[in-house]
A and B are shown apart, each in its own frame.
Chain A
Amino acid sequence: DTGVSQNPRHKITKRGQNVTFRCDPISEHNRLYWYRQTLGQGPEFLTYFQNEAQLEKSRLLSDRFSAERPKGSFSTLEIQRTEQGDSAMYLCASSLISSTGWTDTQYFGPGTRLTVL
């Protein structure tokens, strides 16, 4: 078990460019979450998947944001036409939910720090 990994760890881009981040969850985890954290704030929920199904999206997730988890394993978060306000730390987490609905701890990855110039 190597934990949750995220790539890249840092991304600097110019306004208007598209960026894509990748998250690899803990292998047996069926839930995957994306959060965004700006300076001095706690993480804010963006979206989550159970297996390959995207079950909830926050209003923070504008139409420039899209997330996928094509085979229920890794996930990607894409931001199109980046804006300076998108600068933040993007965090991925994973957890295991049982067939009875019992949810385990969420484990977080190290994050991808995005800077939009």
Chain B
Amino acid sequence: GIQVEQSPPDLILQEGANSTLRCNFSDSVNNLQWFHQNPWGQLINLFYIPSGTKQNGRLSATTVATERYSLLYISSSQTTDSGVYFCAVEPVTGTYKYIFGTGTRLKVLA
């Protein structure tokens, strides 16, 4: 089945710093989402981005479907950005389930 790998696995930033999180996937996908899982376990939608670029405030994301990767950019990080970031993909195999990546655990220090 499709493999979804995220890097880096762990990231520690000082408040105000910028960062780039990467998601690589091994096969073609219909859909891709980025999520932020907060310390209480809630998965919060960040972007629905099967291709192209989107921006929402300090966050932006780019997916290059032909090269099978997606990037999540966080600018001017804040302590509330801490948590785990997941990308999830829907493979082009006629199934509609999401396969989640391994996650990037981000800690932003004040």
Interface residues of A (CB under 8 A from B): 31, 33, 35, 37, 41-45, 48, 55-56, 58, 89, 91, 93, 97, 103-108, 110-111, 113
Contact = CB atoms under 8 A, between A and B. Distances in A.
B60 to A, nearest CB: 17
Contacts of A110: 40-42
Contacts of B96: 31, 48, 55-56, 97, 103
Instruction: State the main secondary structure of chain B at its contact with A.
Output: strand
Contacts of B40: 110
Nearest to B95: A56
16 contacts: A33-B98, A42-B88, A43-B86, A45-B97, A48-B97, A55-B96, A103-B30, A103-B31, A103-B90, A103-B96, A104-B48, A105-B33, A105-B48, A106-B98, A108-B42, A110-B42
Interface residues of B, number: 22
Contacts, number: 56
B45 to A, nearest CB: 6
Contacts of A104: 48
Given A106-B33, A108-B35, A33 B97 contact: yes
B102 to A, nearest CB: 6
B72 to A, nearest CB: 15
Given A45-B99, A105-B45, A113-B41, 16 more contacts: A31-B96, A33-B97, A35-B98, A37-B41, A42-B100, A55-B96, A56-B96, A93-B98, A97-B96, A103-B31, A105-B33, A105-B48, A106-B88, A107-B45, A110-B41, A111-B42
Interface of B: 30-31, 33, 35, 40-43, 45, 48, 86, 88, 90, 95-103
Contact of B103 (A42, A45, A91): A42
B45 A43 contact: no
Q: Which of B35, B41, B102 has the most CB of A within 10 A?
A: B41
Contacts of A113: 41
Nearest first, the 7 A-B pairs at minimum CB distance are A42-B100, A108-B43, A45-B97, A105-B48, A43-B100, A111-B41, A110-B42
Contacts of A45: 97-99
